[in-house]
Amino acid sequence: MSTTFYAEESANRRKSFLLALLVVAFLAVFGYIIGYVVGLGSGNEAIFGIGALLIAVAFGFLGAIGSYYGGDQLVLASSHAKEIGPQQAPELFNVVNELAVAAGVPMPKVYIIDDPSPNAFATGRDPQHSSVAITTGLLQKLDREELQGVIGHEMSHVRNYDIRFTLIVGVMVGSIALLAQLFLRYTFWFGGGRSRDNNNNGSGGLGAIFLVVGIVLAILAPIFTALVQMAVSRQREYLADASSVELTRNPHGLERALAKLAADNEPLHSANGATQHLYIVNPLKKLGGGSALFSTHPPIVDRINRLRQLTGDAPMDPTEVKQLTGLE
């Protein structure tokens, strides 16, 4: 069944927005439970809970603000990316400029990562403060049409504000993980508040339930955050693929580029767990990092078949699938 990139964009925007709400809701509920447990025995458990809820959400938003203004520079520095001018890579600058015009966004800063592994990512807080980083391997191994497909994908991340979205959601899920660690340490050292000293106010039974629920949530928090990061990144990758087709009017360039990037065996040493979700294909798979279940990227086969749906082409045949199976 064929579809359009407009339908892809609409569906993925809705799913990503719901995922963001889910993160905020989990942060709020977890914060309330922590506050309630801390306040056990005081007679003001609900007030403690509401206060902790507000603090947890505020903590997440403050972290998101910090990443909003400085997260992109940290990402670029950790990736060993160097800013370049048009004289150093004229074809690359030409492609970036033409796709920025097509996307209706300002020309982003262009960075090069000196690494033979073909890959690329975009970062920044908005289209006016954005950057694209491309490895030297990408420039050497892709032709112009394939390069256009990759840059169109990254420019779509800029235009669709994915660059802001991933920074903010990343910090908020990190806040959940931090709260989980703090709560587990608190229950270990203090045994879940003062309820053991004063259970006469009727909060003992309910407090025990909140304590158990809080411990369960704290234990499950790392799994929850990993799933959210995976889901957010995967939906955004599908959206950027569809948007790249809109900008380039050529799904075949991106399709060929994805196949080349997936089949390349060069590891990207500057990538890490904190930045892997930014790249067009998962750079850690070539290093043996992570599992397919918790991968931040959808399978290459699925991405290529979705591109083929846009043009009505047949999905990959078994021989093609065999060449790419397990590569993400």
Write out the catalytic residue numbers.
Answer: 154
**Are 36 and 193 within 8 A, CB to CB?**
no
User: Which long-range contacts (C-beta less than 8 Å, at least 24 apart) are formed by 195-199?
Assistant: 195/40, 195/41, 196/41, 197/41, 198/41, 199/41
Q: In whole angstroms, what is the distance from residue 117 CA to residue 115 CA?
A: 6
Angle at 240 between CA 61 and CA 64, to 5 degrees: 10
Q: In whole angstroms, what is the distance from residue 301 CA to residue 316 CA?
A: 7
Residue type, 295: S
Q: Can you say whether residue 83 is alpha, beta or left, with left for phi > 0 and alpha for psi between -120 and 50 degrees?
A: beta
* Residue 320, both tokens: 């093609």
Q: Which residues contact 10 (CB under 8 A, 6 or more apart)?
A: none
